[in-house]
Structure 1
Amino acid sequence: MNTQTRTPPKRSPDVAFVPMLAEVARIEVVSATFRRFTLTGPELHTVADNRFDQRFKILFPVPGSDITELPLDVLVDSDDWYGAWRELDNAVRPPMRTYTVRTVRPEASEFDVDIALHGRLGPASAWALDASVGDRIIVCVPHTGYTGGFHGGVDWRPPAEVGRVLIAGDETALPAVSGILERLPAGARGIAVVEVPDATDAQALSQPPRGVELRVVARGDTAVGTALIPAVHAAAAELLDAPDASAAVLEDVDIDAGLLWEVPTDAQGDPLLAKAPFYAWLAGEAQPIKELRRHLVSERGVDRKAVAFMGYWRRGRAEM
């Protein structure tokens, strides 16, 4: 089935994220770890360009099959695609993973996604290694026809007035960090720290405004977080005053049993603080992010309403 000739369904203005059939138009090697996939499709001109760290879902085909062999009338055309996906038999249910929208080009009906290559660890990583131009997937993306306001899926939600920012993450957060750096105001001040497997992965990062220093640390063959944790401690020491003796004690989060994720916003997605002297955004493997959150809030006294943290993944687990 040609994705370009399939008639797109009518979309409800009440649904923020909708599934769309997409096809790989181009593949680019960005660095040792990153591959950029340009996706196209008859509906992709309606992908909302929210940038920053906008999340979306990819449904990958089961190895040896084509995504269009699935019941597209419920997986793509229905508002209850997630329910339909859950109802599929395990043998044919397409694996689903979360990624960051990098660049949207509505005039070409396409957008880019950068995927980190970590070896052949599962169906998603295998797809990224083996994909060819013309391969088809399903993407669940924010769409421009939504009339309900904030789509969701953007966790960079700082107060309107911020003195300094700290942005930190491992390679899984690199596309999100790039999206944030591209949209920071010209007067922003702070430090961005990204841990990557290989020093050449710095090529995959966007450059920040003049007042934000970008620090890329390579861990080589050491464990995830080995380079990130001390680099973030050093950055925090530069950006913050002396530690506060009255710092808050955080509740423990069992990252093996639950999700490490907190974005300080209200029900409408607005920041809990109108202004703050400091704002931190942390994302990546759950254990280092948990440690860095504790360091900022419990050791350095940062208001927890000024710290967004996301455990994107957990070592040893295929999916969060």
Structure 2
Amino acid sequence: MTSADRITPGTVRITLHGAEIVRPTPDAAVKLFFPLPGQDTPKLAPPVTGDVVSWYRAYLAMPDAVRPPMRTYTVRATRPNLAEFDVDFVVHDHGGPASRWASSAQLGDTVAFLGPAGIYVVPEGARWRLLVGDRTALPAIASIIESAPAGTPLRAFVSVDDHAECQSLPGADVRWVVRDDLVEALRFTRLEDGVHAWIAGEASMVRAVRRHLIDECGLDRHAVSFHGYWRRNLSEEDVGREGLRRIDAGLDPNEDDP
């Protein structure tokens, strides 16, 4: 890393150097691998030589003592000419390996990464955009707003724990939902024709918002993009193992997702 800036009391923007990455979509994310306690650099995960499921099995099969913790983060900005990119980390007490690393990162600290990949594609004919997410979705929401063609109507609903976590998002009509429910915040919002909705954040919240938009507001399923970034009380490894168990049982690994 080359810099760490505290952009809100609970968010650190870290610049990582050494990779000329190109984001395929504004919400593109990378999988970051962090060093274990006592390590300067993470032990590299196995290379991706086949399908992603086989790679993930190999990664989870690594012994706990050597497997580098992995977390998925949105790429906030890229500067290919400088071979660097920015990642915003939510940091808090009792955080996981990514939060702990970002809270104490020093110049020259090293992580590994895989990606990037994203899901944000606006359907042809969409005239305006609705963006809904929690704090973990803020980097993607900001990037989507910045990448939108000039004059595109954008409305965003973002949940945060405190007013101090609000960020400047010029170019969009933003409602900050502080310690409240996003579905309730959306309930009295008029959805004009031609909307494309993008939802991301904690999985149960994403599921509830998606159901509200489709079942109660009447949006077509194809007009809603969604991604459960994380699950309450479960690590990314826990979620991955559950997905593999479902695959082995012949089930859809995302059936419990939104």
Q: TM-score, normalised by structure 1?
A: 0.67
**Which of 141, 147, 163 is the matching residue for 1:199?**
163
Structure 1 position 100 matched with structure 2 position 74: yes
Tell me the equivalent position of 1:113.
87
Cα-to-partner distance string for 1:94-136 (whole Å, 9 max, x where unaligned): 0111001111111211110001113223222211222211111
Q: Which letter does structure 1 place at the counterpart of 2:187?
A: H
Structure 1 position 317 matched with structure 2 position 239: no
Which ranges of structure 1 fall in alignment gaps of 5 or more residues? 1-23, 143-152, 220-225, 241-275
Superposed displacement of residue 218, structure 1: 2.0
Give yes or no for contact 1:51–1:179 (8 Å, CA) kept in 2.
no
Q: Which letter does structure 2 place at the counterpart of 1:307?
A: V
Give yes or no for contact 1:52–1:176 (8 Å, CA) kept in 2.
yes
Q: Using the alignment, how far apart are the partners of 1:82 and 1:292 within structure 2?
A: 29
SS in 2 for 1:57: strand
Name the CA shift for 1:214/1:122 in 2 (closer, same or farther; >3 Å).
same
SS in 2 for 1:52: coil
Give yes or no for contact 2:30–2:113 (8 Å, CA) kept in 1.
yes
Q: Using the alignment, how far apart are the partners of 2:223 and 2:23 within structure 1?
A: 25
Bigger proportion of residues as helix:
2
In the TM superposition, 1:110-259 aligns within 5 A as 110-142=84-116, 153-203=117-167, 205-208=168-171, 212-219=172-179, 226-235=180-189, 238-240=190-192
SS in 2 for 1:67: coil
Superposed displacement of residue 51, structure 1: 4.8
SS in 2 for 1:239: coil
Cα-to-partner distance string for 1:18-41 (whole Å, 9 max, x where unaligned): xxxxxx110000001210000012
Tell me the equivalent position of 1:267.
none
Q: Using the alignment, how far apart are the partners of 1:109 and 1:49 within structure 2?
A: 13
Which ranges of structure 2 fall in alignment gaps of 5 or more residues? 240-258
In the TM superposition, 1:13-52 aligns within 5 A as 24-41=1-18, 44-45=19-20, 47-52=21-26
Percent identity between matched residues is 40
Q: TM-score, normalised by structure 2?
A: 0.82
Count the aligned residue pairs.
233
Superposed displacement of residue 168, structure 1: 0.4
Q: Which letter does structure 1 place at the counterpart of 2:206?
A: I
Give yes or no for contact 1:63–1:123 (8 Å, CA) kept in 2.
no
Q: Using the alignment, how far apart are the partners of 1:33 and 1:295 within structure 2?
A: 29
Give yes or no for contact 1:102–1:114 (8 Å, CA) kept in 2.
yes
Give yes or no for contact 2:76–2:143 (8 Å, CA) kept in 1.
yes
Q: Which letter does structure 1 place at the counterpart of 2:77?
A: T
How well do the aligned residues superpose, as a CA RMSD in angstroms? 2.1
Q: Using the alignment, how far apart are the partners of 2:191 and 2:95 within structure 1?
A: 38
SS in 1 for 2:2: strand
Q: Using the alignment, how far apart are the partners of 1:34 and 1:107 within structure 2?
A: 26
Q: Which aligned segments of 4 or more residues in structure 1 are displaced greater than 4 angstroms?
A: 78-84
Tell me the equivalent position of 1:271.
none
